[in-house]
Structure formats: structure tokens, C-alpha cells
Amino acid sequence: MRNFIITVDGKHYEVSVEEVGAPQAAADLPAPAQPAPAAPKAIPGKGTKVTSPFPGLIKNLLVADGASVKKDQPILVLEAMKMDNDITAPCDGKVTFQVQKGTNVESDAVLAVIG
């Protein structure tokens, strides 16, 4: 077992991780994950993509397809681990959904385009 202290939102948690198999050399370990971009990037002529931050179920669409939305306005509800999460518009514009209510999505799936 290896013990680690992890800090989340300023709170410290001690966790134990069991090692399985032979230890790996540093050269065999995968490269660290790159940090996610802070905001969706605009796609010329196509609008700004709204992507899923994690896997989940599209529980509800809060605005109609083609509706005008304002920045930070909730546009859909994504359920993950029995919790409802509002997904908001990253910018002003008209929303075009790429998913339907009841759809299961993976991380980084395009949920809507705002243009």
C-alpha cells in the first residue's frame, strides 16, 4: 500500500492505494494529462462547442433548439452519479443541440453549439 495526501478545495484527504503487479520504471509511465482548456474555443463559421465535462445522462434540455441564450444561462441538465448538473452557455448566441433528452454521453462529447 502507498499512502498519499490529496487536497481538494482546500481540504486534505489521506488515501491509500494498493499496488498491483510489478512496479513500473518512470519511462514506462504514461505522460501526465494535459490541463483542460478554461473555456470552449470558437469554431469559425460553426460557433462555440459546449462539451460534456464528464460522462452522464442528458436529463433535460432547458431551452428550445434554436433559442437565443445568454452567457452562463443553463441550457441542459446532465446527470452524473445521481446528481443533476446544469450545463451553461459559454457565450451569447443561438443554441443548436447535438444531443437529445435521455442520451448517454462521454466526457468531451459535443452537447450543443452556440453560434
Domain boundaries, the chain: 42-114
Q: What's this model's pTM, rounded to 2 decimal places? A: 0.61
DSSP 8-class letter at 35: P
Per-residue pLDDT of the chain (115 residues; tens, 9 = 90+): 788 888 888 888 888 887 776 555 556 666 666 555 555 554 445 799 999 999 999 999 999 999 999 999 999 999 999 999 999 999 999 999 999 999 999 999 999 999 9
CA angle, 22 then 27 then 33, to 5°? 100
32 vs 110: CA distance, rounded Å = 24
CATH class of the domain at 42-114: mainly beta
